[in-house]
Amino acid sequence: MSDYFPTELLIEIFLKLPVKPLIRCTTVCKSWHSLITSPSFICLHISENKNHALLLRRYDSRDKREHYSLLKVADDGVFAVNSSLELEFPFKSQIGYFRIVGSCNGLVCLSDDFFANPSQPLIIWNPSVRNHVVLPKATINPEQPHIFAVGFGAAGDDYKVVRLVYCREPDDFGFIVPPQAEIFSLKTRKWRRVKGVNVRLQILEFMWSQVFLKGVVHWLAYESINNDNSRHSSSILGFQVDKEVFTELLLPNELVGETVTNLSASLIGESLGVIKYSREDGSESCDVWMMKDYDVKESWTKLYRIDLSKGIERVVAFWKSGEALVVVREFSLVVYNPETKQTRNLGIHGTTRSFYIDNYVESLVLLRGHSGAVEEGLIGYALEKLSLDSCCIT
């Protein structure tokens, strides 16, 4: 059937379709299947896809299940949920709910490691195509006590998981730096070790989380500044997914001396943000900071302060309007307006630490039957419209 249409015309039509109709189109004929499942088209479809949503995860203690939903939110004005679609979640955590390592281009990386067995496998899941990959066992598993941190991001048409392993110092509470590191590539389906890791920063034990921005995975980290490991300097450790190199981004002077356990990294619009929590001397608040110019220390700006004494527990995410999505002590997700300092209940319930919100765009990555075959005309067209060197980077 596709012989009656030029490949370029087919691509233009397919690019306008959501994932589910595209999956049905793969069954029409072999040439359509080859085109739709090709890496070039999958990458181009992500870049052209305007059907964005928010991915919400929450754990409900009443039914003891974690729930994943796609929220359709109005682009303009205050935060308001227009519709919600609950996703089928095919996994069961051994400890209540999974840690979400990160989300990128329709893929969600999951780890079942919260204060439990670190040997549990990592999972990369695409809810849109209802498929997933269980990663093989990591290659770095020291016998001595150790901790690890994981990051997830995209580079071109590949997706990578980076794993850092810190071994404990003998007869000490500190950890050896630099850590050992390894990378899993979704394209090769293998782990490989990174040589010459030049990292002096340590990621926080157990409580690590990431922000993926500009092709870089970011974690809050710290460095010991005295011999007995009693004083620390906080910073941000970055990992450039395409070049596979580690970098450091400096925090403002006001946050450098802050204990890293009081800090939380977040995405604010298209900028990197850090939230500083203060719960001392009967005063509970958090300060919201944003790096307006990427990797420019002087561009860090304090946006506003949130009073936590009125029942707000933690900040989950930020909206385009400047509003913050926060969890209150009644285990509800609410919208906080920094100008009026008022909150608005969204009627969404879950345990405080289980809430996760990130941008989501459906994609064909991990589509079953992906052959990797690419038609010659498709390659030329895709490279003309969008360079694969920058494709899929958010």
At 355, the pLDDT band (50, 70, 90 cuts) reads very high
**Rounded Cα gap, residues 226 and 217, in angstroms:** 28
Q: Is the pTM of this model over 0.75?
A: yes
At 90, the pLDDT band (50, 70, 90 cuts) reads very high
3-state DSSP assignment of residue 288: strand
Q: What is the pLDDT of the chain when averaged over all its residues?
A: 88
Polymer length in residues for the chain: 394
Amino acid making up residue 244: E
Is residue 249 over pLDDT 50?
A: yes
- Per DSSP, what are the bridge partners of residue 124? 109, 133
**Rounded Cα gap, residues 138 and 184, in angstroms:** 9
At 384, the pLDDT band (50, 70, 90 cuts) reads low
- Chain segment 186-216, per-residue pLDDT in tens: 999 999 999 989 999 999 877 889 999 999 9
Is residue 377 over pLDDT 80?
A: no
pLDDT of residue 119: 63
At 321, the pLDDT band (50, 70, 90 cuts) reads confident
Is residue 254 over pLDDT 50?
A: yes
Are residues 158 and 184 in contact, defined by beta-carbon separation less than 8 angstroms? Answer: no
- Per DSSP, what are the bridge partners of residue 184? 161, 191
Give the residue-averaged pLDDT of 13-39: 92
pLDDT of residue 392: 46
Task: Identify the residue whose tokens are 């085109």.
Answer: 35
Are residues 135 and 125 in contact, defined by beta-carbon separation less than 8 angstroms? Answer: no
Are residues 317 and 266 in contact, defined by beta-carbon separation less than 8 angstroms? Answer: yes
Least-confidence region, from 32-41, 106-115, 282-291: 106-115
Cα three-residue angle 214-196-263, rounded to 5 degrees: 45
pLDDT of residue 391: 47
Give the residue-averaged pLDDT of 91-104: 92
